[in-house]
Structure 1
Amino acid sequence: MRYSPISRFKGTLLGAFLGESLASGGEIQFQSYPDLGRMAVLGIQSLIALGKLDLDDWTRRQQQESLYLAATDDISIKIIIAILPVALFFHENPIKLRQNLLHVLKIWEDDPVVQDGTLAVGYAISLALTEKLDPLTLIPQIISFIGETPTSIPKKLLRVQNLLEQGVGLSRAQAEFAREEKLSNTIAMAFYCFLSTLEDFRLAVLRATYNHNAKVQDATPLSSQGIGAITGALSGAYNATGGIPVNWQVLLLQRNSPAWGLTSFSQMLKLTDAFVAVWSGVYDLALNPRELTEEGCEVALLSVYAAPGVIRSR
């Protein structure tokens, strides 16, 4: 395996956070939208607490945080970021992945474009984590995973593939997909930035947030952040934390400012560690102290060993 699962999990979430936080023009000036990834954090916390996907618990947590959604493109981007925990948690099994991605979307508006965008991003992350992502076949695989649909997303993704095969530059790609403020164009542009700089996380997110084209400059800030966040998640899943510039990671740790509704960036890293532990089936003794007591007295800590592949999360 090229990268460890925890490195790819962290790469996906950290990549999304960096992608939506970087300022345009290549300057490392973080201007985060705190609520863009807040729903993703609530989803992670639910999966950690229950060890499974529970829509009632997700809905309850959102209501407690007063995260109400309206049917707009900006909200649609938030939904796609919100499904990242589901894509990570069920990435090994394409059937369960598809079922659970569609299942969690029931929390929000029943929008075919959001559904297809969710499936496209989720499946690409799944292929990256299982090290089956081939840039030459990725888009046809995604279109097959989406299935029959009335939306324009498959057509837009095929256009991305054509642009990549022609070696088209960033400006022309931006002009191609900036004609209208649509979620399908946001997703297409994110896949273009990701696939055109597959092995370079830094360049991918900088291109995603670079607003040279006049039409792109007129786009809403959150739409631009959405392209960066999706690109960052895709590239982070593929390149893992090792591909994210060290100076960016150090800057985040030094500032340690609030991230996606959490009190600090360090808290976000700890949450990801706990998330990977639950996914892998690791038993956290600290979360279950009652099981370590007998008649009010603590018993010796237990150590559990098993052959590789025996203990599974599901």
Structure 2
Amino acid sequence: MRYSPISRFKGTLLGAFLGGNLASNGEIQFQNYLDLGKMAVLGIQSLIALGRLDLDDWIGRQQEESPHLVATDDISIKIIIATLPVALFFHENQIKLRQNLLRVLKIWEDDPVVRDGTLAVGYALALALTEKLDPLTLIPQTISFIGETPTSIPKQLLRVQNLLEQGAGLSRAQAEFAKEEKLSNTIAMAFYCFLSTLEDFRLTVLQATHKGNFQGQVPMPLSSQATGAITGALSGAYNGTGGIPVNWQVLLLQKNSPVWGLTSFSQMLQLTDAFVAVWSGVYNLTLNPRELTEEGCEVALLSVYAAPRVIRSR
């Protein structure tokens, strides 16, 4: 495997955060739209606590945090970011991935565009995480994964494919997809930025947040934030934490500012470590102390041994 699962998991979440908080001049803005991924954090906490997807628990946490969600463009973007933990948790099995992405979307209003955008991003993440992503076939495969739909997302993705085949530059892609503030355009622009600079995380997110994306319009910072967050998640999953510029990571650690509703960036890293542990099946003895007792007496900490290659991935 090119990168470890924990590197890709962290890369996905860190990439989404950086992409969503990167200004057009390449500087990280710590105080803008810190709640863009707050719902994703609540989902991660639910999966860690229960070890499975439980809609009732998700709903309880979401309603406690945001009891009155309205189906606006802002919320649509947050919903897609909120589904990232589900894509990560079920990325190994495409059938379960699709089923659980559709299940978790029931928490919010059923918007076909949000549904298709979620499926597109989730599927691309799954291919990146399993190292099966082929840039030449990603878009046709993604459209097939979405299935029959009345939305314009498959059509927009085909436009991205055509631009990539023609070697079109960023300015032309901006002209194609930045005319209107639509979720389908945001998804298309994110796929373009990701696939056009596949191996370069820094350039990918800088393209996604470039101010030229919104020239001639009333400034809509959230549009840039949304494109950057989705693009960063895709590129982070593909390139892992090793592909994210070290100076950006060091700056985040030095500032240690609040992240997506958490108190600090360090807390986000700890949460991701716990999330990967639950996904991988690591047994947390501290959460199950009774398993360490026998007839009321504490027993020695258990050790597990296995022959080479016996322990396999799920």
User: Where on the TM-score scale, by shorter chain, does this alignment land: which range?
Assistant: over 0.9
C-alpha distance in 2 between matches for 1:133 and 1:113 = 23
Q: Which amino acid aligns with 1:275?
A: F
**What's the CA shift for 1:214?**
5.0
Deviation digits for residues 58-101 of structure 1 (CA, Å, limit 9, x no counterpart)? 00011222353211111111000000000000000001100000
Contact 1:23 1:31 in 2 (8 A): no
**What's the CA shift for 1:179?**
1.3
Task: Look up the SS of the partner of 2:211 in the other structure.
Answer: coil
For residue 252 of structure 1, what is the aligned residue in structure 2?
Answer: 252
For residue 288 of structure 1, what is the aligned residue in structure 2?
Answer: 288
C-alpha distance in 1 between matches for 2:194 and 2:75 = 22
Deviation digits for residues 174-215 of structure 1 (CA, Å, limit 9, x no counterpart)? 121111111000000011110111000000001111112553
For residue 226 of structure 2, what is the aligned residue in structure 1?
Answer: 226
C-alpha distance in 2 between matches for 1:8 and 1:216 = 37
**What's the CA shift for 1:311?**
6.0
Deviation digits for residues 274-312 of structure 1 (CA, Å, limit 9, x no counterpart)? 110111111111222232234554321111233546466
Distance 1:309 1:249, change over 3 A: farther
Q: Which moved more, 1:209-218 or 1:125-134?
A: 209-218
**What's the CA shift for 1:169?**
1.3
TM alignment of 1:161-172, pairs within 5 A: 161-172=161-172
C-alpha distance in 2 between matches for 1:282 and 1:242 = 24
Number of aligned residue pairs:
313
C-alpha distance in 2 between matches for 1:90 and 1:290 = 29
For residue 109 of structure 2, what is the aligned residue in structure 1?
Answer: 109
Task: Look up the SS of the partner of 1:110 in the other structure.
Answer: coil
For residue 97 of structure 1, what is the aligned residue in structure 2?
Answer: 97
Q: Which amino acid aligns with 2:11?
A: G
Runs of at least 4 residues off by over 6 Å: none
Could you tell me the percent identity over the aligned residues?
85
- Alignment of 1:237 with 2:237, yes or no, is yes
Distance 1:219 1:306, change over 3 A: farther
For residue 14 of structure 2, what is the aligned residue in structure 1?
Answer: 14
TM alignment of 1:32-111, pairs within 5 A: 32-111=32-111
Task: Look up the SS of the partner of 2:215 in the other structure.
Answer: helix
Task: Look up the SS of the partner of 2:116 in the other structure.
Answer: helix
Contact 1:22 1:31 in 2 (8 A): no
C-alpha distance in 2 between matches for 1:91 and 1:48 = 16
Task: Look up the SS of the partner of 1:136 in the other structure.
Answer: coil
- Where structure 2 has 5 or more consecutive residues not aligned to the other structure, the ranges are none
Distance 1:104 1:216, change over 3 A: farther
Contact 1:281 1:311 in 2 (8 A): no
Task: Look up the SS of the partner of 2:151 in the other structure.
Answer: coil
**TM-score, with structure 2 as normaliser:** 0.95
Q: Which moved more, 1:205-214 or 1:229-238?
A: 205-214
Distance 1:311 1:64, change over 3 A: farther
Q: Which moved more, 1:154-163 or 1:204-213?
A: 204-213
Distance 1:74 1:163, change over 3 A: same
Contact 2:178 2:214 in 1 (8 A): no
C-alpha distance in 2 between matches for 1:98 and 1:25 = 37
C-alpha distance in 2 between matches for 1:167 and 1:311 = 41
**What's the CA shift for 1:146?**
0.4
Task: Look up the SS of the partner of 1:24 in the other structure.
Answer: coil
